[in-house]
Every structure is written in structure tokens, then in C-alpha cells.
Amino acid sequence: MSERTVAGWRQADDAEEDEAERARITVAPGARGTGLGRVLVQGLLARALRAGFTDVHPRARPGDDRALGCDPVAGFRPVAPGLAESWTTAQPVGHVWLRHDSGAPRR
């Protein structure tokens, strides 16, 4: 990130699978602890729900306490261990997977 950039994110929207996956939120060290991460988590969730996605899930690396602290505040909960394991198989490193309970039926 540049000196002027305080945050960034990466989110993949997959209309065919009806899912939005937030892979990363990065907040510059000088802006950490200000609530900016939580604002981004909630804003990206709202954006995905407005776009009609019924399956919204972030992932975080185990031990990433900042990321794992923001997600539950926005209503994300861990996915079942077997599902998390199946999603992690395709990843180069392990992740903690969460899912938002939007109240919509899941496929």
C-alpha cells in the first residue's frame, strides 16, 4: 500500500455459484484499531447482499485475530468443519472459513 492508502480489500463475486467470497481486507498499520476494518467488513457484506448474493463468506488465516474479530460482529459464523476442510483443500494455505446467515435458503 502507498503512504496515502489506508485500506484495501479483495472480494470475488461468483454469480454462477451465487456466492461472494471476501478473501482479504488490509488496513495500514497507522489506521489499525480505529474500527476501519469493521466498517469495511460491514460495507462489503451490505454490498454483496444488495447485489443479491445469498452465500457470503470470508476466509482468514488461523491466528489472524484482527480479521477473526471483525467478522463475528457483522454476523459471520464458522462453517462446519467438514465444509471448511473441503474448501481449504483447494487453497495453498489453511484458512478459517466463515459464512453469513442472511436467512436465505442454502443450496
Answer whether residue 19 is part of any domain: no
Domain count, the chain: 1
Answer whether residue 24 is part of any domain: no
Q: How far apart are CA 86 and CA 97, in angstroms?
A: 10
Quote the domain boundaries for residue 50.
37-107
Answer whether residue 106 is part of any domain: yes
- Residue 28 in 3-state DSSP? coil
Answer whether residue 25 is part of any domain: no
Q: How many CB atoms lie within 10 A of CB 44?
A: 18
Q: What is the pLDDT of residues 28-78, one digit of tens each?
A: 888 888 988 888 888 888 888 888 888 888 888 888 888 888 888 888 899
Answer whether residue 83 is part of any domain: yes
Answer whether residue 2 is part of any domain: no
Question: Considering only CA atoms, which of 82, 30, 37 is closest in space to residue 58?
Answer: 37
Whole-model pTM: value is: 0.76
